Structure 1
Amino acid sequence: MSPEPTRPPTRWQRAAQSLMAAMLAVMALAVFVNVVLRYGFGSGVAASEELSRLLFVWMVFLGATLAYPAGEHMAFTALVAPLRRHPRGLALLTRLIHALVTATCAMVAWGAWQQVVVGLDSRSTVLGYPVALLPLPALLASVAIGAMAAANLWRGRALDLGHGAEVE
């Protein structure tokens, strides 16, 4: 069984991937410069750690949001593979998974929203950005992924395992 051909990334996906690459480059440069300054000159850049943490959080949630529609999240192929011979069982499991993802995203969004509200009045120690910027990507990612899962549930769309993984 050959895997399905992959679609080329959209303009938004390419932009998000470029943004993630830029974030990774800034994080790597900030950490590298800080290490060189600490070990070579006995001082460092205090903002390096805060900047790296903020960029890492945003990069992870942006990546998770990009991975969901492509079917690149962790999948329990051992659970799905035996049901491929039973279309009704697979359809039921698919609906259950989409419903659970939607419900989980709603809970994560609610908790992230509460953290955003709490963080609006606080500032980070060194850079002074609003602390609400740390939980904000969790809110945005959970809303986006939840909307995609709810749309898949509504349409009755089959599970997209994307990676074409087989049970090994």
Structure 2
Amino acid sequence: MRTTLDTSRKPSLFTRWSQTAMAVCLGVMAVSVFVNVVLRYGFGSGIAASEELSRLLFVWMVFIGATAAYPAGEHMAFTSLVAGLHKHPQLMMALTLLIRCLVVLACSLIGWGAWQQVVVGLDSYSVVLRYPTALLPLPALLCALAIGLMALIELVKRTPLDLGHGTDVE
């Protein structure tokens, strides 16, 4: 059984913002690396800041994408298990509550670890660009807070599990 997504709906402001932010990160990374490669191989010199900038933007892009993927149901899921449980609403609700509790727990652990890294990075700076190294773990903290909050709201509201896409059962 295969269903398709409803593409007629207008994307939310959060979706548009996150897609724009990821596109900007990817565009700046691509231009920076391309210019650095041309300078290095064509002229024997490069831009030292290119690697640091690309690394920082890549980390931010990944966590922006992870945050945007959660409400859309685009994270990895066991869709065949969920599809089989739709016939048992009580079990499905119990599994949904367990999944949401585990998501909140995982976000708490990731957020706590990221917070510790942010605090450590406040007093140190990157070698070339001199930005505070706290900017590298900061998107992990923000992502954990955002996903944890969304999962907590879904847990309190007892929102049914919706993966945002059709299930493929073979």
Q: Would the TM-score normalized by the shorter structure come out above 0.5?
A: yes
- Equivalent positions of 1:124-163 (< 5 A) are 124-163=126-165
2:9 is aligned with 1:5: no
Structure of higher RCO (CA pairs closer than 8 Å, 6+ residues apart): 2
Aligned partner of 2:117: which letter?
A: Q
Matches of 2:121 and 2:87 in 1, distance apart?
A: 50
2:67 is aligned with 1:65: yes
Q: Which segments of 5 or more consecutive residues in structure 2 lack a partner in the other structure? A: none
Report sequence identity in percent.
65
For these two proteins, the number of residue pairs brought into alignment is: 168
**Deviation digits for residues 104-161 of structure 1 (CA, Å, limit 9, x no counterpart):** 0011000000000000000000000000000000000000000000111111111121
2:33 is aligned with 1:31: yes
CA-based RMSD of the aligned residues comes to 1.4
Give the aligned partner of residue 121 of structure 1. 123
Aligned partner of 2:136: which letter?
A: L
- How far residue 4 of structure 1 moved from its aligned partner, in angstroms, is 5.8
Aligned partner of 1:61: which letter?
A: F
Which moves more between the two structures, 154-163 or 94-103?
154-163
- How far residue 97 of structure 1 moved from its aligned partner, in angstroms, is 0.4
Matches of 2:157 and 2:17 in 1, distance apart?
A: 28
Answer whether contact 2:83 2:167 (CA < 8 A) is retained: no
- How far residue 164 of structure 1 moved from its aligned partner, in angstroms, is 1.4
Matches of 1:35 and 1:167 in 2, distance apart?
A: 46
- How far residue 86 of structure 1 moved from its aligned partner, in angstroms, is 1.2
SS in 2 for 1:69: coil
Which moves more between the two structures, 108-117 or 15-24?
15-24
**Deviation digits for residues 23-66 of structure 1 (CA, Å, limit 9, x no counterpart):** 10000011111111111111111000000000000011011111
Matches of 1:50 and 1:3 in 2, distance apart?
A: 40
- How far residue 163 of structure 1 moved from its aligned partner, in angstroms, is 2.1
**Deviation digits for residues 52-86 of structure 1 (CA, Å, limit 9, x no counterpart):** 00000001101111110011111111221211221
- Equivalent positions of 1:103-118 (< 5 A) are 103-118=105-120
SS in 2 for 1:95: helix
Change (3 A) 1:39 1:4: closer
Which TM-score applies when normalising by structure 1? 0.95
Matches of 1:4 and 1:25 in 2, distance apart?
A: 28
